Structure formats: structure tokens, C-alpha cells
Chain A
Amino acid sequence: MIPELGNFALILAALVALILGTLPLLGAHQNRMAWVAVARPATSALALLVTFSFACLAHAFVNNDFSVVYVAQHSNSLLPLEYRVAAVWGGHEGSLLLWMLMLTWWAFAVRMLSSQLPENMVARVLGTIGLVAFGFLLFILITSNPFDRLLPGAAEGRDLNPLLQDFGLIIHPPLLYMGYVGFSVAFAFAIAALLSGQLDAAWARWSRPWTTAAWCFLTLGIAMGSWWAYYELGWGGWWFWDPVENASFMPWLIGTALVHSLAVTEKRGSFKNWTVLLAISAFSLSLLGTFLVRSGVLTSVHAFATDPRRGIFILIFLVAVIGSSLALFAWRAPKVGLGGRFALISRESMLLTNNVLLVVACATVLLGTLYPLLIDALALGKISVGPPYFNAVFVPVMTPLLFLMGIGPFANWKQASIPEILRTVRWAFVAAIIVAIAVPLIYGNWSALTALGILLAAWIVFAGAINFVGRVQSTRAGQSFLSAALKQPRSFFGMHVAHLGIAVFVIGVTMVSSFQDEKDVKMAPGESVDVAGYHFTFNGVKAVEGPNYVAAQGDFDLSVNGKFMLKMTPEKRNYHSSQMPMTEAAIDAGFLRDVYVSLGEPIDRDKPEAEWAVRVYYKPFVDWIWGGCLLMACGGLLAMLDRRYRIKSRATSAINTQAGTQQA
């Protein structure tokens, strides 16, 4: 009964989405306020219906209702409760419903927080989201209905893929989808601006915090996925350039460009067309990511069993969304003014360079991701493009970008002077060079690439510090340094924290790729192995029992310089229902290094108490990678909470009146 209610709510939601996607848009076009007024209540109704539907599916999972196909395929009565809840998005159908849920929540948030916006604008934004929601709801109802029944019901479920039975499943997909789907708001604002022809600084100011919010979620979501892969897959890697990872990384790159170009549009009124194009691209890439992951055209840890109908539906949807928004752009963009002029050397030109580099980086990732599909589609053979391609292309594109990050904040709007900036930052550069030479030498293995990474990170930190101190000093006017610092706008703090996050991230990546150490060895009980000064002694394995698996648990003593530090207990699990083996690594995480042990397989399958193939790792600074991402997200949060977004500032209303008189 309850699954039918969920299904019914989903159908109703599709109808409401259709109303939301038509009436308010038409109303805004023809100035019919009664139709415009539909937007807010329809958005609330949509959010309520989809949330109810989602709750129905969750109810089916919690109560082990195996008469629902999707539940029977992805759950099991032995599955612990928290994973039964998370299993709602553990497969194709449910993850789409989660996507939908996030979309309606974003729309609801816009509805609640948009009291200062003109009603016509709100109607257009919510209407655009309504159209997207309608397309996705149709997709769910036609090709991927999670409420389909299984008659007669199964006695027991097939269980959730053991790879997914982890804390990561509980938070990675929701965070990632919040980010993916959050770009729909920036997209809707862009479409609304194109429809109304009102592309001004006020528009940029409205869409900025929303874009930054989505960007923060996406940053956290990607970082969480990377961390999960690191500890769960047992390969000790944190990024594989897997197509699905790329699918989430591309919107991030464009989103990062968008966050920066919105700054120019807000402050100087320039880059309007470009900003709109980026907003459209970011969301299009989110959709493309969904298509790549869900259509099964890719080989990946994320690819579930496939159904060609789904791929075609998403492809059509993708073409419709991208095609119509680009057509709208081509029609409307020429009417948008160019905005303020700027010199060759200025804050604007540096942000433009930032944008170009980020877009190029995204294009190279896109090429590497789609190239094998293209070659396959043209029947030229099957190929794979591996991490070496991405590394070879990415480092040269990112190097100038990271270098610019140090200088950019010093540049004035409109016109800046390079000699002046260089005079201000020269000591930062000298200090960065010293650090770049010293650090690799201390770690005992100097290489140009290592030095480059450290140089860029140190440069960002030192130049950022000079910029921060300089700005505080110039606004001090007799106060103490601390109180002047605290009076700086939050967006200024946000920028520096996010940039610091990049530096921390770069240090992590550089150190771990330069100085990590790994060994694959055969170990009998009593034997030991040394990696980077860490001494591992294997004491054998014992059988342990989990809620829905049995495991061979290894027992390792970790010691340094003959001093015992701790016990490490990696596991090799075997899940009852699927008979799938799973490696659970043991990790001792630290500020400056991780030490990582995972069990391979018994050398002789019949003698699991004897020798095992074992993998041990030493990973310096690896946690800085995710720490850097966390800092970036914190920076975004600070920027989002800047006061000027919350108070109805005079500037906004002034710009509105100005725009009004211009039109009149």
C-alpha cells in the first residue's frame, strides 16, 4: 500500500512540476500576476510530494518490503538499519529519486529565501527548475520507477553491493547530488535572466550565494568520494581519473570558473554573457555526468546493470536542455551589453585568464573521458585513456593557474600595474623558492616536479598572507590589527581560506605522489616487513563475524624504532548473501602521514591460517588532500555568509532603478 502511495505522489509531483514549469513562465512573460503567483505554492507542493514519495521508499527499505523490485535487489533483512536507509540511493532508481529530492529542496530553498527578489524573476527561476523536474520525473516514472512491484514478493532481498556497505554511502551521494543539482539554481537564474533580458549586477548578486553553496557541496561530495575510494577499495589511491570521477570533476571546474566570473559580473558588470554560458555549462555537465553514470556506457565502479532505454531517454533530455538553453542564449545574448571596460593587466583580465584555464582544464578532461566512447561509437576499436594522459595534461594547465592565484588578489579592478604587484610579492616568491628547494631535500629525494608543487603551494600561502596583512593594515585607522582583521568582509576571508585550501591540497598531492612507499609481500605469521621506517609484524589471522558477513581479520603490530605503536586489524570479508569478498583496509591516519595495511588473499586458499599476500603503504600528507577540500568548502561557506547578500543593500535597489530607467 505504502509503495503505491509513493508512486502516486510521484505521478502527482510530475503534474505539479508541469504546472510549475509552464504557468509561471507564461505568466511572467505576459505579466499575468495570477499565473506568476502559482510558482511559490507549486514549488512547496512539489517538494512535499517528492519528499513524501522518498519517505515511502525509505519505509519500504526499513521494513524489508521485498515485494518492491528495487528493495529486493538492493537490500537484505540482515543489512544493518543505517545501510537499509542509505540503500535507498544504493542503486539506479533510488539515486535518481534522491537527485529529484535534492532538486525540489533547492527549489524550496529558493522559494523561501527569495522575498527580496521581484516576483517575475522568482517565477522564471522556479519555472525553469519546474521544467527540469518534470523531465526528470518523467524519466523516473517511465524508465526507472523505484516502486515497481515484484509479484509474488521475494522472501529475501539480494542485498546491497558490499562495496557500498559503508559510511561513505550514507554521505557521499547526498553531498555530491546536492552539488550537482545545486547548479540547477545557477542555471535557472541564468535562464531567467535571459528570458527577462535583465542581466545586471543585481542578477549576479542574487545567483552568487546559490552558486557558491552548490560549489561547496560539490567540493565536499567529490572529496568524500575520493576519501571513500581511498580507504574502501584497498588500492590506496585517492583519484583514479575514472570516467565517473571525471563526470563530477568537470562541473566542479566549470563551477569554480563560474564562482569567479560571477564576481566580475557583480562588481564590474562585465563578462555577463560568459557568466551565463558558464552557468548553462555547469548544469549541462551535471546532466552529462548523470547520463554517463546512469546510461551504462562507461566501465566504472559506479556503473550498475544497464538498460539502453534509460541512456536514450537521458540523452534526449540532455539534448533538449542544452539545445534549448543554448538557443535561448544565442537569441538573447547579443542584446546584453559588454559592461565595464578593463585594461590588459587588471583584476578582470586575471579572472578571465583563470576562467579560460579552468575551461581548458575541463575540456581536456571531457576529451579524455569521451574519446574512448567516440572511438567506440565510430567502430574504430575499443581504447582506454588512462591516468597518464590526465596527469600529463593537467599539470601544465594548472601551473599558471596556481601561479596567478598568488597575484590575482593584488590586482586592482580596471587597471593594475605588474611592477607594483611584483614589488609587493617579491619576498613571497623568494620564500617560496627556498621552501621548494628545502622540503624535497629534507625528504631526501629532490625532483623538479616535487619542487614545483611545493613552490606553487608555498607561493599561494605567502602571497595570500601578504595580501591579507596588507589589506588589514590599510583599513586599520588606529585600531588593533586583530580588530581590523575581524572587520574584513566574510567574502574576503572566504577567498583566502579557499585559496589556502588549494595550497594545502597541492601539498598533499605533491607529497603523497613523490614520497609514498608501498610493498606487496607474502607474509607468514611471525614475519615482518619494513616500509619507510615503519615495522609491521604479522601475527596471523582469525575469523570474526559481522552482522551479515564473516571475515578473516589480520593482526598486525606496528612499531617504529623497535617501539610498539598500535595494533592494526585489516579484514577480508565475505558477505553471506552475495558471497562477495571485500577488503577492509586498516589505516592509521596522522597529520603528516597515513600508514595503511590491507589483506590480499591467502597464498593457499585451503590454509587461511598460514601465509597471506599483504599490501602495506606509507602515505605522507595524504590527509591534506581532503583537508584542503574541506578548507575550500569552508571558504565557500564564509563567502556565502557575507553580509551583503542578506541585507537589502542600497546598491541593489539603486541598480534596479537604474535598469528600470534605462528600459523606460
Chain B
Amino acid sequence: MKSRHKKLALIGGALAILGIIAALVLNALNSNIALYISPTDVAAGKAPQGKVFRIGGLVKDGSIKRQADGVTIAFIVTDTEKDITVNYKGILPDLFKEGKGAVAQGKMTADGTFTANEVLAKHDENYMPPEAAKALNDAGNRAADKKAADAPSAPAKPGASY
């Protein structure tokens, strides 16, 4: 009798603890996941409003601008199709460079720009953040598809010699 109660108490306790932990984990996971969204999708309005997400791509040449305070920076992240302006306050990573890959994490603001609280760059000459690589690849594929789709319907240029 007594040992059965003990067993029940043990099992009940364990289940309760497991339940609490599971609830905790799911809740934490749910509110702390940052989805990765490409600049093209952001431009198409697919970015969640008021939620943290990540964008990746190339830092557009000549796009880095510094505000007067010296530590607020704006730059453009592009997947070669669409551009998104990113605002960031703080010190950029060492390998953050124009024309190179970067990933930024933050939220969209009302004016359609992205406010980052974290900027990640590569840490090695040969290294490209996978999210940035994917955005460029996808954009490249779309461009190729578009070309292929356009080609047959494109009227032959007058005067083109074969």
C-alpha cells in the first residue's frame, strides 16, 4: 500500500515536471525563433510585422552611411533583385564589408526599413553565411528562370543577323 502510493507520487511528480518543462520549452521556442526571410520576400510583404526575423544577402556597394553620432549606420542588403535598407546602431563586425555577405537580425519598421539589433558577417575569407548564400542563389535561379521563360516569347530583334 505504502509503496504503491510512493510509486504513484513519483510518477505523478515526474509527469508534472515533464509537463512544466515541455510547456516552458515550447513557449520559449515559439517566442524566440527568428525566421529567415530573403530581401525579395520582404519586398513582397512576406515579413512578419513586429516580430524578429533575419535577412541575408550582399551589402550593396557604396551603401554604407554613417549618421552624425558616428555609431548609427545604414546600409543596403540585396539579393541582387531587391534591396532592403538596414539601420543599425553599434559597432559592425570586423569582416563586414561592402560587396560581401552579411546577415542582420531585427524587425521591420513602419517606413519599410529594417532595424537590426544584430549584424553577423563571415569570419573567414572563403566563408559566406548560408542564409546570404541561399538568398543570392534563389535570386540567381529566378533570374535564370525568367530569362528562360522570356526567351521564346521575345520577338527576334529586327536586323539581327544569324
Contacts and interface: CB of A to CB of B under 8 A. Distances in A.
B67 to A, nearest CB: 9
A388 B127 CA distance: 26
Contacts of A299: 120, 129-131
Contacts of B71: 520-522, 600, 613
Nearest to B129: A299
Interface residues of A, number: 42
B9 interface: yes
Interface stretch (A31-39, A391-399, A557-565): A391-399
Contact of B35 (A356, A383, A581, A600): A383
A163 B70 CA distance: 26
B134 A382 contact: yes
B90 interface: yes
Interface residues of B, number: 39
Interface in A532-580: 578, 580
Interface centre among A382, A385, A397 (most CB of B within 10 A): A382
Interface string B18-55: 00010011011101111110000000000000000010
B94 A367 contact: no
B151 to A, nearest CB: 29
A344 interface: yes
Contact of B36 (A381, A388, A392): A381
A578 B21 CA distance: 47
Contacts of A304: 124, 127
A389 B70 contact: no
Interface in B119-156: 120, 123-127, 129-131, 134
B28 A389 contact: yes
A112 interface: no
Interface string A351-375: 0000010001000100110010000
Given A392-B24, A393-B24, A522-B69, A384 B130 contact: no
Contacts of B9: 344
B95 interface: yes
B94 A382 contact: no
Contacts of A389: 28-29, 32-33
A161 B124 contact: yes
A492 B75 CA distance: 58
A516 to B, nearest CB: 15
A520 B90 contact: yes
Nearest to B34: A384
Contacts of B127: 303-305
A392 B125 contact: no
A589 interface: no
A305 B21 contact: no
Interface in A598-653: 598, 600-601, 603, 611, 613, 615
Contacts of B6: 344
Contacts of B123: 161, 163, 301
Interface in A118-173: 161, 163
A301 B93 CA distance: 12
B125 A578 contact: yes
B10 interface: yes
Interface in A301-347: 301, 303-305, 344
A386 interface: yes
Interface string B47-80: 0000000100000000000100111000000000
Nearest to A392: B28
A580 B95 CA distance: 7
B111 to A, nearest CB: 23
A54 to B, nearest CB: 24
Given A305-B126, A360-B21, A384-B54, A522 B33 contact: no
B15 interface: no
Nearest to A375: B33
B16 interface: no
A41 to B, nearest CB: 43
B105 interface: yes
Contacts of B69: 521-522
Contact of B32 (A303, A364, A388, A582): A388
A392 to B, nearest CB: 4
A182 to B, nearest CB: 28
Contact of B33 (A161, A234, A384, A611): A384
Contacts of B25: 364, 367, 393
A383 B34 contact: yes
B89 interface: yes
17 contacts: A161-B123, A299-B120, A356-B17, A383-B36, A384-B54, A385-B29, A386-B34, A392-B28, A393-B25, A397-B21, A397-B24, A520-B71, A520-B91, A521-B70, A522-B71, A582-B94, A600-B92
Q: Which 8 residue pairs of A and B lie closest in terms of their CB atoms, listed nearest first?
A: A522-B70, A382-B36, A389-B32, A600-B91, A392-B28, A388-B32, A520-B71, A581-B94
Interface of B: 6, 9-10, 14, 17, 21, 24-25, 27-29, 31-36, 54, 66, 69-71, 89-92, 94-95, 105, 120, 123-127, 129-131, 134
Given A161-B123, A522-B71, 13 more contacts: A163-B123, A299-B131, A305-B126, A344-B6, A360-B21, A381-B36, A382-B130, A385-B32, A389-B28, A392-B28, A392-B32, A603-B70, A611-B70
